[in-house]
Structure 1
Amino acid sequence: MFKAKVISIASVSGGGKTTVTNELIKRINCSEALFFDEYDFEGAPDDLVKWVDDGPDYNQWNLELLKAELKSLLEREEPPEYIILDYPFAYKNDQLKNFIDLSIYIDTPLDIAMARRFLRDQPNTTSYEISDQLNFYLKFGREAYLEMGKTIKPNSDLIVDGSLPVIDIVDTILETVKT
């Protein structure tokens, strides 16, 4: 029986997960994607900064909904050849780690990720609001970004330079997938 290959794509917020996932779906025939941000998870921390400060427990997140949808794709009579997971935890959550065949970390410089987040999430934000958000990031949020580099990056099979153009990131991933 044919088993679909599951590829997870991780990065910091604004690091390119969704853009790269969408481009991979366009370029890989017979593939489908699941997006972490489309789910509401039980056990998800209300305060991500505190969660990181306390020493993040990636198993705190109950990923049953995502796991069930992933299993449903895998158990289809004719499953896709590839399932791309836009998913931030690599192999760190026990509920999903055994489903993942290849974990990719997009190593995006934090300044680029922050700029992308502002452009994506806050197109009409005032300079005062931007200033408040930057102050929050510097005082609290940066640690969450750094946590990804300390924990998820070394827990991944392939690390790709997130400052590269999307097409180059995708080409690098596709070269690895072919082998």
Structure 2
Amino acid sequence: MRVIAAAGLSGAGKTQVLLRAAELLGGAPILHFDEYAAVSTLPMDMRAWLEAGGDIEAYQTPQFARDLRALRAWQSVTLPGGGVVQPGSVVLVEEPMGRARKEMTALIDFVAFLDAPFDVLLARRLLRRMEEEREQLSGRTLDVLRADLRYHLELGRRLHVHGQHVVPQAADIVIDSTRPLDDVARALLHAAGLR
């Protein structure tokens, strides 16, 4: 079994790339970091976390790690929100920090850091936010967008710089995620020796 991870910052395209890679592999199982947020210990105040040095070990995801170990042992896992993931010869993992966190280092065989410029990340996050809140946004669209842009200017960009410094060091390859989705997914699989 091989565990292949897509790492990168919010908006880098990890989810979409892994979904496409899973299709190309004929239905490989995927574990998504975000599905474990409610059962993990994550920094609550990102500004304070960053000002204290941005230690990525503050991200503690014991159930995520347990489930990944179980899949590596060819056992199925039940996701925190329900649903079952079956093991496969390749398991795809959405892990923003790749192998950079000690909790994940020995569990992941190959990491691709999906890289994109600040403006692309911001645009993707805003589009995703608008899609997620399409129904509720009608009267407050400008307020939501204004808040997201302020966050990006005040903190988001600094988080991006920090992540770009820390995470790629633990990656096997850096892939420009502004390329077409199919190209990025194929590049990931090719670099991991799967295509």
Compute the TM-score of the two structures, normalised by the length of structure 1.
0.90
Query: 5, 8, 16: which is aligned to 2:5?
Result: 8
Aligned equivalents of 2:58, 2:151: Cα separation in 1: 25
Query: 114, 118, 128: which is aligned to 1:106?
Result: 114
Partner of residue 79, structure 2: none
User: What's the C-alpha RMSD, in Å, of the aligned pairs?
Assistant: 1.8
Aligned equivalents of 2:181, 2:26: Cα separation in 1: 18
Q: What are the ranges of 5 or more consecutive residues in structure 1 without an aligned counterpart?
A: none
Which structure 2 residues correspond to residues 1-179 of structure 1 after superposition, within 5 A? 4-29=1-26, 31-39=28-36, 40-76=38-74, 79-123=87-131, 124=134, 125=137, 126-178=141-193
Aligned equivalents of 1:14, 1:42: Cα separation in 2: 21
Q: Paired residues, what number? A: 176
What SS class does the counterpart of residue 31 from structure 1 fall into?
coil
Q: What are the ranges of 5 or more consecutive residues in structure 2 without an aligned counterpart?
A: 76-85
More deviation in 133-142 or 40-49? 40-49
Compute the TM-score of the two structures, normalised by the length of structure 2.
0.83
Deviation at 1:79, TM superposition (A): 4.1
Aligned equivalents of 2:61, 2:154: Cα separation in 1: 29
Deviation at 1:157, TM superposition (A): 0.6
Structure 1 runs (4+) greater than 3 angstroms displaced: none
* AA partner of residue 118 (structure 1): L
8 Å contact from structure 1 (residues 7, 82) kept in 2: yes
Aligned equivalents of 1:20, 1:76: Cα separation in 2: 24
Counting aligned pairs with the same residue, the percent is: 24
Aligned equivalents of 1:79, 1:128: Cα separation in 2: 43
8 Å contact from structure 1 (residues 30, 82) kept in 2: no
What SS class does the counterpart of residue 121 from structure 1 fall into?
helix
Aligned equivalents of 2:147, 2:72: Cα separation in 1: 44
